């Protein structure tokens, strides 16, 4: 089993607390939520890893589309505006605005 650092463990606890407070339905289609998703990827924007505005509940289908389909992601205007509220540069770059 892989050991994680204390810092990573703390970050994981913060994300888990955020996930507990998410609405039970998908932020895109309204179906039951199955995943918590980072609106801008943690790999590109680690500074937003524990930002509650960067984490939303999505169903598995919308999560896959959001991650893998730029055109689908660009149609999610309310999520783009949410990202702009905390990092306009990240929104412009990630959504190719």
* Domain-wise residue ranges, the chain: 6-94
pLDDT above 90 for 94:
yes
What's the first-to-final CA gap in the chain, in angstroms? 42
- pLDDT, one tens digit per residue, over 15-33 is 999 999 999 999 999 999 9
User: Which residue, among 36, 41, 59, 57, has the nearest Cα to 95 in the 3D structure?
Assistant: 41
Q: Specify whether the CB–CB gap between 54 and 36 falls below 8 A.
A: no
- pLDDT of amino acid 2: 77
* pTM of this structure: 0.90
% of the chain at pLDDT higher than 70: 99
pLDDT above 80 for 36:
yes
Computed over every residue of the chain, the mean pLDDT equals 95
Distances (CA, A) of 23 to 15, 43, 89: 15, 25, 27
Q: Residue range 2-7: average pLDDT?
A: 89
């Amino acid at each position: 089993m892989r050991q994680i650092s204390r810092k990573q463990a703390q970050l994981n606890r913060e994300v888990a607390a955020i996930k507990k407070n998410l609405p039970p339905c998908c932020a895109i289609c309204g179906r039951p939520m199955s995943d918590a998703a980072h609106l801008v990827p943690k790999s590109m924007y680690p500074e937003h890893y524990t930002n509650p505005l960067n984490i939303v509940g999505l169903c598995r289908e919308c999560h896959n589309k959001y991650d893998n389909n730029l055109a689908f992601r660009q149609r999610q205007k309310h999520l783009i505006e949410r990202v702009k509220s905390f990092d306009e540069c990240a929104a412009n770059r990630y959504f190719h605005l």
